[in-house]
Amino acid sequence: MKVTKFLDHTDTVRIGRVESDEIIPLQTTNEFRTLADLLAAEDPIAAVESLNHDSPVPITDQICWLAPIDQQEVWAAGVTYKRSQTARMEESEAAASCYDRVYQADRPEIFFKATPNRVRGHHEALRIRKDAKWNVPEPEVTLVLSPALKIVGLTVGNDMSSRDIEGENPLYLPQAKCYNQCAGLGPVIQLYRELPAVEEIGIDLKIEREGQIVFDQQTSASQMARSFEDLVQWLGRDNDFPNGAFLMTGTGIVPSNDFTLSPSDVVHISISGVGTLSNHIVQG
C-alpha cells in the first residue's frame, strides 16, 4: 500500500492512498490526524484501511505532491556501499583513512540530515549551495521509522551533497549535507508488514540536462555492506524519536569525479516497488 501527502483543489494538505492512476484522499480522525499518526499505529496498513475517503483524484501533471513527512527528523547513514567508500577516499586526501575505517567498523557513520522544512517532495526544487562547486545527488533507499523505530515502510531519498566542501575537511560534513532544500523524499511511502529482500530493491539514478540523459546508473540494496536493521539499532542508541524518523541508508551510486550537478538539471531516482522521485535543481 502506498500513501502520500498532496494539496487538493482547495489547496488543503491531504493524506492520500495512492493507487496506480489515482490518489484517494483519506478522511482523518481524532486518532489519526496526520500521516505520522498512521505510521505510528500498531499496524499502519490496517490504520489506513480503517479511514473513510473522498472521491479519488486522477494522477495528472497537475497533482501537487508534498514530501510524505510531518515532524520527523531525517537522518542518514554514510559509506555503506563500496562505491561510496572509494569516492570519498578519492575526494578527501586528508580523511581517506577515516572513510576506509568506517566502511569496515562495527559502528556506522550516521549523521543528521534535515529537519522537515529542509525537505522537498516530488517535482519540487532541490538546491545546490551558493558556495559549493562540486555537487551530486545521492539516491538512497530511505527507511520510514515509527516512534518505536520499527521499519514500517520505504521511500525514495535524495541526499544532496557538496563534494568539494565535504572533501576539503570531514568536519565540514554538516555544511555539505544540511542546508535549505538539501533533501528529497517521496513521492510516496510504500508501507510494508514485511520488507522485500534487499535483492529485490533496485536503485536507479538518471540525471537529465536540457532534455538529454547525461547520467544513468543502477545498483541494488543487496550491495550494501550493512543491514537496514543494523543501521536502525545504531540510530536508536541513546536516541528517542517521539515523532518517528526517516533514515537514508547511503548511496551506492556516485558519478565520476568530473561530474557536477548544474542548476536546471532534473534528477530522477527510482526504487523498485516504491516509485520515482523527480526534482529540478536550483542554486542561489
Report the C-alpha gap between 179 and 55 in whole angstroms: 38
Is residue 85 a contact point for Mg ion (CB under 5 A)? no
Stretch of 14-22, 153-161, 164-172, 201-209 lying at the interface with Mg ion (CB under 5 A): 153-161
Site for ligand DO4 (CB under 6 A): which residue of 78, 153, 187, 244?
A: 78
Stretch of 71-79, 147-155, 209-217, 224-232 lying at the interface with ligand DO4 (CB under 6 A): 71-79
Report the C-alpha gap between 260 and 134 in whole angstroms: 5
Is residue 146 a contact point for ligand DO4 (CB under 6 A)? no
Cβ proximity to Mg ion: between 139 and 187 the closer is 139
Is residue 84 a contact point for ligand DO4 (CB under 6 A)? yes
Site for ligand DO4 (CB under 6 A): which residue of 37, 73, 91, 159?
A: 159
Report the C-alpha gap between 88 and 194 in whole angstroms: 33
Report the C-alpha gap between 247 and 151 in whole angstroms: 10
The grid coordinates of residue 271 equal 526504487
Q: Which of residues 170-229 bind ligand DO4 (CB under 6 A)?
A: 173
Is residue 251 a contact point for Mg ion (CB under 5 A)? yes
Report the C-alpha gap between 254 and 191 in whole angstroms: 28
Nearest to 127 by CA among 76, 166, 182: 182
For the chain, the first-to-last Cα distance in angstroms comes to: 38
Residues of this chain that interact with ligand DO4 (CB under 6 A) are 76, 78-79, 84, 88, 109, 138, 159, 161, 166, 173, 250-251
Q: Give the binding site for Mg ion (CB under 5 A).
A: 138, 159, 251
